[in-house]
Amino acid sequence: MSNYKQALTNNIFKVISLASAELQLESYVIGGFVRDYILQRGEHKDIDIVAVGSGIELARKVSDLLPHKPKVQIFKTYGTAMLRAYDMEVEFVGSRKESYSQESRNPEVESGTLEDDQNRRDFTINALALSLNEETYGELLDPFNGLQDLNTGIIRTPLDPDITYSDDPLRMLRAVRFASQLGFRIEKSSLEAINRNRNRIKIISRERVVDELNKILLSEKPSVGFALLHKTGMLRLILPELIALEGIDEIEGQRHKDNFWHTLEVVDNISENTNDLWLRWAALLHDIGKAPTKKFDKKMGWTFHGHEFVGSKMVYKLFKRLRMPLNEKMKFVQKMVLMSSRPIVLAEDVTDSAVRRLIFDAGENIEDLMTLCEADITTKNPRRFKRYHNNFQVVRQKLKKVEERDHVRNFQPPVTGEEIMETFNIKPSREIGIIKDAIKEAILEGEIPNEYESAKEFMLKKGKDIGLKPQN
Ligand code: ATP
Ligand code: MG
């Protein structure tokens, strides 16, 4: 029998072992910690402990034995307890059997053996348990050959997949998420069962759905997860906006690209350059406006006029529907979608004023916007690929040069509203806005440099133009 004592060197395990002995009950580490240890994925910071007995009592005992007596948080409805120690978050649960009803993913629970508890786990790779009992410390309990599935990279349910997924449909999303995070394959009968049960994801709270979507997006190659969501039919239920991008139309011999598969490539590309969840969301949604704006024009061919604007509006609706935060993160995603074509236009013809406008409009997000646009290059033609990337190099250099000279990135009006009011002896009024705007425009157009003296001179001239007189 394999022994994994070396996985259990953190003091917390010794203390749990001791506490279990004192209470004369058995306990095991189970789930993610064991899985990630064997996969050498770095330390899993949340530990799940199964006690054959009361998890809550065990947690209390562990806290007693610890020098700093950490607070034990108890979740009565779930019969679980949690405490923090040695930089770990430890969750305790009593081993249990579960039975489910149709309407909810919250089961009836009764206590059971370790095997009962392993049976209720979602996947064989998540049912691996390590003994914390004195005589068998570190021994692996693996009733479903989870170790083999870990080694061959397979997501499989311990029991009949139809029952496992129907009992708790969240597991269908978890299957996809783990496949994406770990680069694993979902075993055939599981995939088929997900297909049959996919409509049951409707009973999952949207927050949980979004949690899993975020984890898929944060995986190394998110397209793995999204392709599986697509294949199992779940994507249509969760993100129909993306499904609407699928397919290639042809009229008069002209075809446009399949924007769904293109989008997945863009998400993979951007994931090589950023771990920012919201920038990855922006990549996922950057083309959603293309479905409702698609038209065929006899002269122009396929067009998607205004898709960036339409797309940015759709972002709000989508976030709202999924109960995602409607805060500055959402605004960031909207802004990225709205501006997603701007640098591309520049790549063809880079004038200083166009560059200044881009920097002004993108503000502090200019870097992210460039990252998005570079990820958007998915052409399979190596010459074009190179040319597009070179074009963006030129844009980047220009951005740098112009910003160093003109400082419009965090634009502050060089002449304040107060100064305008004092100069012309006027009260707050429309004129002030007109003058400020004219100054800003003149700077962006390159008529005047972004500095006080020139702006003041321009203000005096503009004021006179609209019939104002300076005080003295
Ligand atoms: P991660 O922490 O990376 O999300 P994990 O496997 O640790 O991965 P948790 O959500 O922390 O996932 O759950 C811990 C363990 O609890 C899992 O390994 C699994 O054994 C079990 N588990 C979690 N959610 C479910 C579920 N919906 N159905 C069955 N078992 C589950
Ligand atoms: Mg975990």
Fold of the 5-152 domain: Beta Polymerase; domain 2 (3.30.460)
Give the residue whose CA is nearest to atom 25 of ligand 1.
Answer: 122
Ligand nearest to the CA of 98: 1
Q: Tell me the CA–centroid distance for residue 187 and ligand 1, in Å.
A: 18
Give the residue whose CA is nearest to atom 24 of ligand 1.
Answer: 122
C-beta of 32 in contact with ligand 1 (< 6 A): yes
Q: Which two tokens stand for residue 69?
A: 């007596």
Q: Tell me the CA–centroid distance for residue 443 and ligand 1, in Å.
A: 56
C-beta of 168 in contact with ligand 1 (< 6 A): yes
Q: Tell me the CA–centroid distance for residue 215 and ligand 2, in Å.
A: 12
Distance separating alpha carbons of residues 443 and 432, to the nearest angstrom = 17
Q: Write the pLDDT tens digit of every residue in 272-299.
A: 999 999 999 999 999 999 999 999 998 8
Distance separating alpha carbons of residues 355 and 375, to the nearest angstrom = 20
Q: Could you tell me the residue ranges of all domains in the chain?
A: 5-152, 153-238, 417-465
C-beta of 171 in contact with ligand 1 (< 6 A): yes
Residues with CB under 5 A from ligand 2 (ion): 32, 46
* pLDDT exceeds 70 at position 1: no
Distance separating alpha carbons of residues 259 and 265, to the nearest angstrom = 10
Looking at domain 153-238, which CATH architecture does it have?
Orthogonal Bundle (1.10)
Report pTM.
Answer: 0.93
Q: What 8-state DSSP symbol labels residue 71?
A: P
* pLDDT exceeds 90 at position 99: no
pLDDT (0 to 100) of residue 79: 87
Give the residue whose CA is nearest to atom 3 of ligand 1.
Answer: 32
Q: Is-contact 196 162, C-beta < 8 A?
A: yes
User: Which atom of ligand 1 is least distant from the CA of 33?
Assistant: 7
C-beta of 31 in contact with ligand 1 (< 6 A): yes
Ligand nearest to the CA of 34: 1
C-beta of 177 in contact with ligand 1 (< 6 A): no
pLDDT (0 to 100) of residue 408: 87
Q: Write the pLDDT tens digit of every residue in 361-376.
A: 999 999 999 999 999 9
Helices (H), 120-258: 146-152, 161-167, 170-182, 188-197, 206-217, 222-231, 234-238, 240-243
Q: Write the pLDDT tens digit of every residue in 24-71.
A: 999 999 999 999 999 999 888 999 999 999 999 999 999 999 999 999
Q: Write the pLDDT tens digit of every residue in 407-458.
A: 888 888 899 999 999 999 999 999 999 999 999 999 999 999 999 999 999 9
Give the residue whose CA is nearest to atom 27 of ligand 1.
Answer: 171
Q: Write the pLDDT tens digit of every residue in 222-266.
A: 999 999 999 999 999 999 999 999 999 888 888 888 999 999 999
Q: Write the pLDDT tens digit of every residue in 143-199.
A: 999 999 999 999 999 999 999 999 999 999 999 999 999 999 999 999 999 999 999
Q: Is-contact 312 338, C-beta < 8 A?
A: yes
- Residue 255 makes CB contacts below 8 A (sequence gap 6+) with 248, 249, 302
User: Which atom of ligand 1 is least distant from the CA of 120?
Assistant: 29
Ligand nearest to the CA of 118: 1
* pLDDT exceeds 80 at position 348: no
